[in-house]
Amino acid sequence: MDLVLDHKVYSDIETIMEYYERVASEELADEFYLELRSYMVAASTRPESYAIRYRDIRRVNLERFPYHFLFRVVEDTVRVLVIRHHSKHPDFGIRRR
Protein backbone atom coordinates (compact mmCIF):
# COMPACT_ATOMS: atom_id res chain seq x y z
CA MET A 1 0.00 0.00 0.00
CA ASP A 2 1.03 3.58 -0.52
CA LEU A 3 1.97 5.62 2.52
CA VAL A 4 0.74 9.24 2.72
CA LEU A 5 1.31 11.62 5.60
CA ASP A 6 -1.06 14.44 6.47
CA HIS A 7 0.76 17.73 5.93
CA LYS A 8 0.66 18.40 9.70
CA VAL A 9 2.50 15.15 10.42
CA TYR A 10 5.70 16.71 9.10
CA SER A 11 5.34 19.41 11.74
CA ASP A 12 4.65 16.75 14.39
CA ILE A 13 7.90 14.97 13.47
CA GLU A 14 9.92 18.17 13.40
CA THR A 15 8.64 19.24 16.82
CA ILE A 16 9.46 15.88 18.40
CA MET A 17 12.91 15.70 16.83
CA GLU A 18 13.73 19.27 17.90
CA TYR A 19 12.71 18.34 21.44
CA TYR A 20 15.03 15.30 21.52
CA GLU A 21 17.88 17.33 20.04
CA ARG A 22 17.37 20.02 22.70
CA VAL A 23 17.07 17.77 25.77
CA ALA A 24 19.34 14.91 24.69
CA SER A 25 21.18 14.68 21.37
CA GLU A 26 20.85 14.66 17.63
CA GLU A 27 21.54 10.92 17.75
CA LEU A 28 18.48 10.31 19.91
CA ALA A 29 16.36 12.40 17.54
CA ASP A 30 17.65 10.28 14.65
CA GLU A 31 16.85 7.07 16.56
CA PHE A 32 13.31 8.34 17.13
CA TYR A 33 12.91 9.03 13.41
CA LEU A 34 14.27 5.62 12.40
CA GLU A 35 11.89 3.81 14.75
CA LEU A 36 8.95 5.93 13.60
CA ARG A 37 9.78 5.30 9.96
CA SER A 38 10.09 1.54 10.47
CA TYR A 39 6.67 1.39 12.12
CA MET A 40 5.14 3.47 9.32
CA VAL A 41 6.53 1.06 6.75
CA ALA A 42 5.15 -1.86 8.79
CA ALA A 43 1.73 -0.17 8.94
CA SER A 44 1.73 0.32 5.17
CA THR A 45 2.72 -3.32 4.65
CA ARG A 46 0.21 -4.89 7.07
CA PRO A 47 -2.32 -2.28 8.21
CA GLU A 48 -4.84 -4.88 9.35
CA SER A 49 -2.43 -6.06 12.07
CA TYR A 50 -3.06 -2.86 14.06
CA ALA A 51 -6.21 -2.50 16.13
CA ILE A 52 -8.97 -0.08 15.21
CA ARG A 53 -9.27 2.45 18.02
CA TYR A 54 -11.92 4.84 16.76
CA ARG A 55 -14.22 4.27 13.80
CA ASP A 56 -11.72 3.42 11.04
CA ILE A 57 -8.63 4.85 12.74
CA ARG A 58 -5.85 2.49 13.79
CA ARG A 59 -3.09 3.16 16.34
CA VAL A 60 0.59 2.17 16.26
CA ASN A 61 2.65 2.50 19.45
CA LEU A 62 6.38 3.06 19.16
CA GLU A 63 8.38 0.64 21.24
CA ARG A 64 11.16 2.79 22.64
CA PHE A 65 9.57 6.25 22.68
CA PRO A 66 6.33 7.40 24.39
CA TYR A 67 4.66 8.26 21.08
CA HIS A 68 2.18 6.66 18.75
CA PHE A 69 0.61 7.50 15.43
CA LEU A 70 -2.89 7.16 14.08
CA PHE A 71 -3.70 6.11 10.56
CA ARG A 72 -6.60 5.08 8.38
CA VAL A 73 -6.76 3.02 5.23
CA VAL A 74 -8.33 4.79 2.28
CA GLU A 75 -8.61 2.51 -0.74
CA ASP A 76 -5.02 1.30 -1.29
CA THR A 77 -3.38 4.03 0.81
CA VAL A 78 -2.33 4.21 4.45
CA ARG A 79 -2.88 7.82 5.56
CA VAL A 80 -0.99 8.82 8.71
CA LEU A 81 -3.06 11.46 10.51
CA VAL A 82 -1.05 12.43 13.58
CA ILE A 83 1.96 11.54 15.66
CA ARG A 84 1.34 12.26 19.31
CA HIS A 85 2.67 11.68 22.78
CA HIS A 86 0.84 9.04 24.82
CA SER A 87 -0.29 11.75 27.26
CA LYS A 88 -2.12 13.80 24.60
CA HIS A 89 -5.90 13.94 24.71
CA PRO A 90 -7.40 11.00 22.77
CA ASP A 91 -9.19 13.37 20.37
CA PHE A 92 -6.02 15.24 19.39
CA GLY A 93 -5.47 14.87 15.65
CA ILE A 94 -8.33 12.52 14.78
CA ARG A 95 -10.10 15.15 12.70
CA ARG A 96 -7.25 15.21 10.23
CA ARG A 97 -8.14 13.47 6.99
- For the domain spanning 2-85, the CATH number is 3.30.2310.20
82, 71 Cβ separation under 8 angstroms: no
Query: Where in the chain does DSSP place strands (E)?
Result: 2-5, 52-54, 57-61, 67-74, 77-85
Q: Per residue in 19-63, pLDDT tens?
A: 999 999 999 999 999 999 999 999 999 999 999 988 999 999 999
- Global confidence as pTM: 0.90
The alpha-carbon radius of gyration of the chain (Å, integer) is: 13
Name the more confident of 88 and 44: 44
Q: What does the domain layout of the chain look like in residue ranges? A: 2-85
